[in-house]
Amino acid sequence: MKTNIEYCDPFDGEPENFWMKIEHCGRYLWAAERLSGEGCQSVADIACATGYGSRILSEKINQVIGIDRSTDYIERARRSTRERHIDYLCLDLDQSQLSQKLSDIDAVVCFETLEHLQHPLKALQEFHQCLRAKGLLLLSVPNERYEQLDENGQNLDPFHLHIFSPDDVKNLLEQAGFSILETLGQDICNRIVTRISKQDKAGLLSKEQAEKMWPHDEAGIRMLSRIFGCPDAKNPEESYSYLYVCQKKELQ
């Protein structure tokens, strides 16, 4: 399995990074169910890339706005999306104000994005301004224990500009005007990846054997994502990323 990549499409039919795909797909399936259960009608999907997550959200949500700073990703998302209730917006959160484009939306989904931004607090403040009263933010941030550092303590992942501890995230959210309702994780995926990696290093699992294990159809990916990738509150500290369910507070 490849590692240290910043984007993967769960439905591209390729076995590489399979469990990462299960993890990412599981987040969006969970988000769609959670937000629709809360009665959300509009949601912004931050760092939507080619839009697979926006399309999952649109199965349960009436209005989805996918946002990404890559013009290439946004163009690909538009070409691959037939749903009329999904819009895409090319916008860099470090350079532009999201609140000038969106207002009074029910929810923001922001998975694996905050660590890439030069100004994460500014982005969270923008989310706060975009949301209606008591609107929801679903946020995922990599677990600091799985970040790889060099001898000087610098992150070996050049795309991650920040390493956040749970206290760091809590402080940022509080400064931006959010309260944390739940903290979740996806530790099952992480445990499976660890086991497979150990097998692979021991020569017990060939590439050909591994490829036969992966389903290549969307229905199979979704099924495994629901079984293994659905976030829960059991062992969030063992998950590759923490997932936070947050609610907008009114600033004093």
For 134-156, write each residue's pLDDT tens digit. 999 999 999 988 777 667 666 65
Residue 162 pLDDT exceeds 90: no
Give which of 173, 193, 197 is closest to 183, Cα–Cα.
173
Task: Provide the pLDDT for residue 150.
Answer: 67
- Whether 56 and 77 have beta carbons less than 8 Å apart is answered as no
**Apex 20 CA angle, 225 and 36, nearest 5:** 45
3-state secondary structure of 158: coil
Q: So what CATH class is 18-248? A: alpha beta
**pLDDT, the chain, mean:** 88
Cα distance between residue 146 and residue 165, in whole Å: 11
Q: What is the pTM of this model?
A: 0.90
Q: What mean pLDDT is predicted for residues 44-52?
A: 96
Q: What mean pLDDT is predicted for residues 86-114?
A: 94
Task: Provide the pLDDT for residue 223.
Answer: 93
Cα distance between residue 180 and residue 196, in whole Å: 33
Task: Provide the pLDDT for residue 119.
Answer: 95
Cα distance between residue 190 and residue 215, in whole Å: 19
Cα distance between residue 150 and residue 129, in whole Å: 38
Under 8 Å CB-to-CB from 146, ≥6 apart: which residues? 190, 240
Task: Provide the pLDDT for residue 194.
Answer: 74
What is the band of 1 on the pLDDT scale with cuts at 50, 70, 90? very low
Under 8 Å CB-to-CB from 55, ≥6 apart: which residues? 81, 83, 86
